[in-house]
Amino acid sequence: MPDIYTTEWYDSVRDAINAGVSRLRSVPEGRFVVAVEVVGDGISPYVATDATRRFLMEIDDGTCLWYRELAAHEDERAHHEGRIDYRFRGPATVFDEIAAGLLDPVDVALRGAVTVKGDMRLLLRNAEHVASLLAAYTSAVSTTWPLGRPPYASDASDAPADASSHNATGGAGGDAPADHREATARA
């Protein structure tokens, strides 16, 4: 079981995406790049307060070519001709809880806890593919949480007995091109 936010975890999520895609009736044609920004919120132990972890994923004809974290100094626009088709941004705790299978990613976006920028029509037209991608992230990979598994207690006295477990496991855990409409999913 890979630790959350490690190269092994990204590779496992990529493999789970591709396994799920292989079972779909149809997938979107073409290539698109997804940027994810996980913002430190002072609660998640995986992203420092006021820091941001950035990830890129490239999908080609439904298949995930790569999914990885960017180094702090790395320019996301150096990848795939600087094109970012979708951008997801939100608090680290929310992304951790999605990866642990505790929150539904669609509900989170509709509530505005995670903002989504990109061509929302394409996402809706390819709902089966999107669902497969989300399932890979939320439940297809058995994940180890070395710094503790969400949900996180805001006060140690409120923590459930297993919240501090260092080996707890659970689910896996922008700019659009000019020809795409940009939308932000907010409740």
The CATH number, out of the four listed (3.30.60.50, 3.30.1050.10, 3.40.50.970, 3.40.50.720), of the domain defined by the range 7-156+165-170? 3.30.1050.10
pLDDT in tens, 85-132: 899 999 999 999 999 999 999 999 999 999 999 988 888 888 888 888
- What average pLDDT score do residues 133-152 get? 93
The domain limits of the chain are 7-156+165-170
- What average pLDDT score do residues 80-84 get? 72
Which of the four pLDDT bands, split at 50, 70 and 90, describes residue 79? low
**Which tops the pLDDT comparison, 11 or 178?**
11
The per-residue pLDDT for 39 is 97
The per-residue pLDDT for 100 is 95
Question: Is residue 83 predicted with pLDDT exceeding 70?
Answer: yes
Q: Which 3-state string (H, E, C) describes the chain?
A: CCECCCHHHHHHHHHHHHHHHCCCCCCCCCEEEEEEEEECCCCCCCCCCCCEEEEEEEEECCEEEEEEECCCCCCHHHCHHHCCCEEEEEEHHHHHHHHCCCCCHHHHHHHCCCEEECCHHHHHHCHHHHHHHHHHHHCCCCEEECCCCCCCCCCHHHCCCCCCCCCEEECCCCCCCCCCCCCCCCC
Its pTM stands at 0.78
